[in-house]
Amino acid sequence: MNRTEQLDQLKSNPHWDIVIIGGGATGLGSAIDAASRGYKCLLIEQYDFAKGTSSKSTKLLHGGVRYLQQGNIGLVLEALRERGRLLKNASHLSSIQPFIIPIYSLWEKWFYAIGLKIYDLMAGKLSIGKTTLLNKKEVIRDIPNIQQTKIKGGVLYYDGQFDDTALCVDMAATAIEYGATVLNYCKAIEFIKTNKKITGLKFYDSINDETIQINSKAVINATGVFTNAIMQLDDAHLHDYVTSSQGIHLMIDPYFFKGQNAMMIPKTSDGRVLFAVPWYDKVILGTTDTPIEKINIEPKPLEEEIDFIITHFNQYCSTPISKKDILSVYVGLRPLIKHDNIQSAKLSRAHALSVSTSGLITITGGKWTTYRKMAEDAVNNAIFVGKLIHAKCVTKDLKIVNPISKPSILKKIVSENPEMNQLIHENFDFIKAEIIYAIRHQMAMSLEDVLARRIRLLYFNAKVAIQVAPEVARIMSKEMNKNADWTIKEINSFSTLASQYIV
């Protein structure tokens, strides 16, 4: 996965079957789908892969127990099927995660047990574990520091968990492996039209400060919360199609939440859902659902959102947390299909697809879990719009893998320079060779790409990420042949961003 090679590939052929705008889960999934069907496909992402919402999820592969409660059976069925497929197709970055719902009344016990039994049954052959009732002792055994007063027992159920950002990077590699051209730091800026139909695209490559124009038979807009902007680039008179709500997550040390089972609170005192989920050697707490007007690629947490999570987590666990215990706070924006007068929490999480009169295919909404189905729908429409010869979707069993063996590359980097075997930070087992690997094989272009989305230290511990930034930038500048100005600029801009992740 090398950017210069991808750019050469792009320049050797300006004619494409399908061009995809957006390098999050939906866009990368569409690139895999299109390339694996044999179409000539190009994907452009304005920043880095997964820089948008796709790196800021709760990292669950789920059918959405909550949507079952809302009676949205179709959505749950589809997501359960996709959960099962993703657990098989990306097994190196996903796993089955047991969840416990602590129970405080007999009524609750049967309500959740029956609901989750139905959820299990709906998964059919792709079921990943049986819902069972737990007594109080079993709940305490599995979550040793749960608040023990008033607890009557629990319900144990299973969902999936995954590494969203790492999966995006491997999805980019998989798309390339199937013949797609994939470029980060390229922003769509203008549609080219012939007889009012889209026939191409202009985009700006911010790494080389260059505007590039290409032709394409079909264009897919997979830009998440930026959907409106791209639709209005096509037709300035269009009303907003999506709206957005913000969700924050707090990363904490497992000292505050012990045990390998996650905890799910289906209804906090103010009616929201709260998760505490072990993730690598940390724990993610989340999330919130705050309607947002202004779209920002790096949204900021609100004080009241942080307070909500801390207050409610402390009601359920006996090792209370305060702001100083938060290692990192990250914030994502949900793209939600707009319906006037409906609260964001109640807006459907189903995906939607639209085709404009000029032929722009927009795919948005949905969930990470359902990205494959979203991609299949988008490419089916691109085939129709672009009048392409029909080829069947083959992604149901297609494995997402990085074809390069990371351990052998790391070994080679260390053999060239033994210093690269040193840890980046004493509390984390990332070695310096991983920085070189990210540059040579994962298209990392900036300090932020490495620290936020390749080794993800920013998410595990934002203060540590700032601490190691100068040394990581030094190694990067040497590898990438950059000067001192570049290094200083990278350290400054990364530190400014990372300070937003510190509470």
Ligand X SMILES: Cc1cc2nc3c(=O)[nH]c(=O)nc-3n(C[C@H](O)[C@H](O)[C@H](O)COP(=O)(O)OP(=O)(O)OC[C@H]3O[C@@H](n4cnc5c(N)ncnc54)[C@H](O)[C@@H]3O)c2cc1C
351 beta partners: 365
Could you say whether residue 166 binds ligand X (CB under 6 A)?
Answer: no
Helix or strand or coil: residue 161? strand
Q: Which of residues 472-501 bind ligand X (CB under 6 A)?
A: none
Tokens describing residue 472? 């990581």
Contact 101, 146 (CB under 8 A): no
Could you say whether residue 222 binds ligand X (CB under 6 A)?
Answer: yes
Q: Which of residues 271-300 bind ligand X (CB under 6 A)?
A: 287
Stretch of residues binding ligand X (CB under 6 A), selected from 58-66, 141-149, 396-404, 427-435: 58-66
Residue closer to ligand X (CB basis): 380 or 467: 380
Residue closer to ligand X (CB basis): 73 or 488: 73
Strand residue runs (E) in 126-209: 132-135, 153-162, 181-183, 186-194, 197-205
* Gyration radius (Cα) of the chain, Å: 23
Site string for ligand X, 225-264 (x = CB under 6 A): xx---x----------------x-----------------
Stretch of residues binding ligand X (CB under 6 A), selected from 68-76, 94-102, 222-230, 468-476: 222-230
List CB contacts of 487: < 8 A, sequence separation 6 or more. Answer: 473, 474, 476, 477
Q: Which of residues 364-383 bind ligand X (CB under 6 A)?
A: 364, 366-369
Could you say whether residue 30 binds ligand X (CB under 6 A)?
Answer: no
Could you say whether residue 25 binds ligand X (CB under 6 A)?
Answer: yes
Could you say whether residue 466 binds ligand X (CB under 6 A)?
Answer: no
CA angle 69, 93, 158 (to 5 degrees): 30
List CB contacts of 439: < 8 A, sequence separation 6 or more. Answer: 450, 476, 479, 480
Residue closer to ligand X (CB basis): 86 or 424: 86
Question: Cα dist. 1→47, 101, 212, 469 in Å?
Answer: 16, 42, 21, 24
Contact 99, 159 (CB under 8 A): yes
Total residues at interface with ligand X (CB under 6 A): 39
The minimum distance between CB 201 and ligand X, in angstroms, equals 9
Residue closer to ligand X (CB basis): 52 or 102: 52
Identify which of 316, 318, 320, 319 has the alpha carbon closest to the alpha carbon of residue 103: 316
Q: Which of 36, 58, 94, 290 binds ligand X (CB under 6 A)?
A: 58
Q: Which of 23, 153, 259, 301 binds ligand X (CB under 6 A)?
A: 23
* DSSP 8-state code for residue 91: G
Helix or strand or coil: residue 405? coil
For CA atoms 322, 323, 328, 330, the dihedral sign is: positive
Q: Which of 52, 153, 266, 278 binds ligand X (CB under 6 A)?
A: 52
The minimum distance between CB 165 and ligand X, in angstroms, equals 10
The minimum distance between CB 220 and ligand X, in angstroms, equals 11
Q: Which of 154, 332, 359, 386 binds ligand X (CB under 6 A)?
A: 332
* DSSP 8-state code for residue 73: H
